[in-house]
Structure 1
Amino acid sequence: MNLFNRVVSSRRQAPPVPPQRPAGAPASPTAVLPDPQLTNLTGEWVVDPAHSRIGFSVRHAMVTTVRGCFLEYESRLYFDARDPARSRADITLFTSSVDTGVEQRDAHLVGRDFLDAATYPRMRFTSTGVEQTGSDLFRMSGELTIKGVSRPVVLDLTYIGHVTDPFGYERAGFDGTTTINRSDWGLTYNSRLAEGGAMVSEKVRLQLDIAAIRMAPSAG
């Protein structure tokens, strides 16, 4: 009954009957409608270090958060707009380039207690699969290798946009994040607080703010 109409029918109208799905028939899946701009992205890309950040954050002394990033890395990306599952990423980080803004802390991180950069100068993420979960959302599975240990991780990615800059370079932006347990990669060093908690949390949040530049097609 519509209470906002001045004239109200004296006969109550039966609600429309929705069409019935045949017994045993599967429910229709919800289609993921891609952002129209994504159709322009098919091709090879490389991360632009000057406008990107591959970082991390970890709880310290139970009451504060330390943030850092890796300043040097190599990357190779491929995006397939028609079939996102064929997209892939390969990023190698140089462990000695870790930067948290405190020189003494950085020296500890690259030492044997943590990354052991002298023995393991690189850490690497290689994708194994991509799933589109929304118009601008993706889930990228892959293997993360730290100190010679490779374990699966899943990155949640958000597509930010695609532009051509004033210098003629095509740029695409993605944000990504995942949380890992550092002990799974042998980063087990810790010290205990008087209150009984850990000085450094086991959980580390990885954060990728990616500005990628399209690579020119190979000659020939």
Structure 2
Amino acid sequence: MAKIKWALDPTHSELGFKIRHLMISNVSGSFRDIKAAVETEDLDFGTAQIQLTAAMDSIFTNNEQRDNHLRNSDFFEVEKYPELLFESTRIEKVDDETFALHGDITLKGQRKPVKLNVEFNGITKDPWGGERAGFQVTGKLNRTDWGVNFNAVAETGGLMLGEEVKINSEIQLVRQ
């Protein structure tokens, strides 16, 4: 079997998230600076070894004041912990288009296991003769597992932020 290396196409990929705000709606955001290296045996993504990084200072929620707050010590401490790291540990093939992706996320100096859902959208040739693969990655994390504990009590007595963070990402890889 031949090893194939894949790189992330950052212009056609996004690492997105949502979190409850005031427990009645969601705030969405993303990390604008992400990189990934993937290695497969032939074209079998069930064999993939994946490493993805996100620059924590690239967080974007469409509100500069909130983004700056997320970068400080109340949340991500980006000066001390500049990077989020995901490393795969194993992949379970559910069917031809669905995988359970197991791995570890290192955030704020803490490494914890996660399980994500992956939908394989296929492989195609691009207009320049390259080969590309597309995926949707979803899942749920509890932010407090990584020491992201900031919260405040709203006027009504409820919490300002939920603990559950929903991941919704689009990933496009380019064969190297």
Check whether the contact 2:56–2:78 (CA below 8 A) recurs between aligned residues. yes
Structure 1: any 5+ residue segments left out of the alignment? Answer: 1-40, 216-220
Quote the residue 1:185 is aligned against: 146
Could you say which residue in structure 2 is the equivalent of 1:51? Answer: 12
| Structure with higher RCO (Cα < 8 A, 6+ apart) | 2
Bigger fraction of residues in strand: 2
- Where 1:188 maps in the other structure, the secondary structure is coil
CA RMSD of aligned residues (A): 1.6
1:150: how far off? 0.5
Q: Secondary structure at the match of 2:168?
A: strand
**Given the alignment, which residue of 49, 56, 77 partners 1:88?**
49
Question: How many residue pairs end up in the alignment?
Answer: 175
| Matching residue of 1:141 | 102
Alpha-carbon distance in 2 for matches of 1:76, 1:65? 30
Deviations 1:32-68 (A, max 9, x none): xxxxxxxxx9611111110111111111111111111
Q: Which runs of 5+ in 2 are unaligned?
A: none
Code of the aligned partner of 2:83: R
Cα separation, partners in 2 of 1:95 and 1:87, compared to 1, 3 Å: same
Partner deviation per Cα, 1:122-181 (whole Å, 9 max, x = no partner): 110000001101111111100001100000001110100111111122111000111010
Report the Cα distance in structure 2 between the residues aligned to 1:47 and 1:83, rounded to whole angstroms: 17
Q: Which runs of 4+ in 1 moved over 6 A?
A: none
Q: Distance in 1 between matches of 2:156 and 2:42?
A: 52
Aligned counterpart for 1:68 among listed residues 29, 34, 41: 29
Task: Name 2:114's counterpart in structure 1.
Answer: 153
Q: How far is the alpha carbon of 1:195 from its aligned partner? A: 2.0
